[in-house]
Chain A
């Protein structure tokens, strides 16, 4: 619950502004009179669906959710809460880590769909309010040459990224040794490693699935 719902606000802010900026910057670069202005909306849509919504959202989530998971598990480790579970005969990794991994794998795609919608909507707002594109052209552009497979590709990415972020962060937190300083280090390491793994996986998925 905390992994998905508590991230809605930051995802909404980031994706709306990225959509708005990508619309303005695409319009700024499209100066040829032979390219219809509705192409701006088409580019915003494809950028959002193929790359910005899944990857940028998951990079943001690696920072927010990854550090949260690592610091929570790290604190539980140094305060002997994980030892208490193990002494009771409870499998601490499946009790603590598995729900986090599953939550990330199933909520990240939902957040990414939400981010893609808001990104396209952000482009619409920025484009129409500043007058770089009309409402009619924008709506035409986002429906033009639409490839449904791209939506499937967009949903596969956060599923994989969610798994990577949750497992890497859990590993860093679960095996924390020492005190408060080490919890901070684990948290930083979790975010760094998660971001790198997301970028590598992003490249591999693009190679494999497109």
Chain B
């Protein structure tokens, strides 16, 4: 479980996060939603240690990330898997080398163990045939799947996904969503997804947080979200014509 308590962050005097508090349960696909510039990605970066919050705490199963010693922070980092928006694959390495990279850098596994683990992860995301290809030779959807394979190769306890569907066609988006949900349930991972894709929210979102101008305006379960009375959330949800008609 991940808990965030009163996370606040400002950049050049502009407050981007205004004291966000929440809990993200294990084995659930937790979602942080909101429009562009509402602080979703900053909140994610605060959680994974890329941006230090001005105040507040991030607790990984009770371990306070920012008030821990370096060794504890390092061990928490090794329990994280992160899927970045563009995949963040290393351009100079093949798909297989990208997935093997965390094993090479952070474990003492034998070559054979690494090879088996990489093959398993690539097979899990359906990319065993693309192992020898370079990131520049594969599509955007495949890059995201390689990103997922790299994120899960270390058997993470926490999985973070920053807009996993951005730039993908609807069919590929659904496949990526299903893959994340399956992995979350199969390995009992605490998954946090940043998105503004309403299909994902309705399809795989379980616990959902809505951010608006750096504030948490709503938190609840997937099946309650469409019944909300929060005007900003309603506006966000029903900005899509199809969903507006469904509401009526």
Residues of A within 8 A of B (CB): 75-76, 79-81, 83-84, 86-90
Interface residues of chain B: helix, strand, loop or mixed (majority): mixed
Decide yes or no: A83 and B50 within 8 Å by CB, A89-B77, A89-B78 being known contacts: yes
Nearest 6 interchain pairs by C-beta: A89-B77, A80-B88, A84-B88, A80-B84, A87-B82, A89-B74
CB pair A84–B84 under 8 Å, yes or no, is yes
CB pair A83–B106 under 8 Å, yes or no, is no
B102 proximity list for chain A (CB < 8 A): 88
What is the CB-to-nearest-CB distance from B194 to chain A, in angstroms, rounded to a whole number? Answer: 13
B78 proximity list for chain A (CB < 8 A): 88-89
Give Cα A88 to B77, complex, Å: 6
A79 proximity list for chain B (CB < 8 A): 86, 88, 91
CB pair A83–B88 under 8 Å, yes or no, is yes
Give Cα A84 to B150, complex, Å: 10
Cβ contacts B83-94/A at 8 Å (1 or 0 each): 011101111000
17 pairs across A/B with beta carbons < 8 Å?
A75-B91, A79-B88, A81-B88, A81-B89, A84-B82, A84-B84, A84-B90, A86-B50, A87-B48, A87-B80, A87-B82, A88-B106, A89-B73, A89-B74, A89-B77, A89-B78, A90-B106
Decide yes or no: A81 and B106 within 8 Å by CB, A87-B80, A87-B82, A89-B78 being known contacts: no
Give Cα A203 to B89, complex, Å: 43
Give Cα A83 to B85, complex, Å: 11
B interface residues, tally (CB under 8 Å): 20
What is the CB-to-nearest-CB distance from A95 to chain B, in angstroms, rounded to a whole number? Answer: 8
B101 proximity list for chain A (CB < 8 A): 88
Is B242's beta carbon under 8 Å from chain A? no
Give Cα A76 to B85, complex, Å: 14
Which of B73, B86, B91, B105 is A88 in contact with, Cβ under 8 Å? B105
Give Cα A4 to B104, complex, Å: 26
Is B220's beta carbon under 8 Å from chain A? no
Give Cα A79 to B74, complex, Å: 23
Is B49's beta carbon under 8 Å from chain A? yes
What is the CB-to-nearest-CB distance from B182 to chain A, in angstroms, rounded to a whole number? Answer: 23
CB pair B84–A90 under 8 Å, yes or no, is no
What is the CB-to-nearest-CB distance from B89 to chain A, in angstroms, rounded to a whole number? Answer: 8
B84 proximity list for chain A (CB < 8 A): 80, 83-84
Give Cα A79 to B89, complex, Å: 9
A83 proximity list for chain B (CB < 8 A): 50, 84, 88
A84 proximity list for chain B (CB < 8 A): 82, 84, 88, 90
Cβ contacts B9-46/A at 8 Å (1 or 0 each): 00000000000000000000000000000000000000
CB pair B85–A90 under 8 Å, yes or no, is no
CB pair A89–B82 under 8 Å, yes or no, is no
Give Cα A86 to B73, complex, Å: 12
Cβ contacts B182-201/A at 8 Å (1 or 0 each): 00000000000000000000
Decide yes or no: A80 and B85 within 8 Å by CB, A87-B77, A88-B105, A89-B74 being known contacts: yes
CB pair A87–B50 under 8 Å, yes or no, is yes
B74 proximity list for chain A (CB < 8 A): 89
What is the CB-to-nearest-CB distance from B184 to chain A, in angstroms, rounded to a whole number? Answer: 18
What is the CB-to-nearest-CB distance from B58 to chain A, in angstroms, rounded to a whole number? Answer: 13
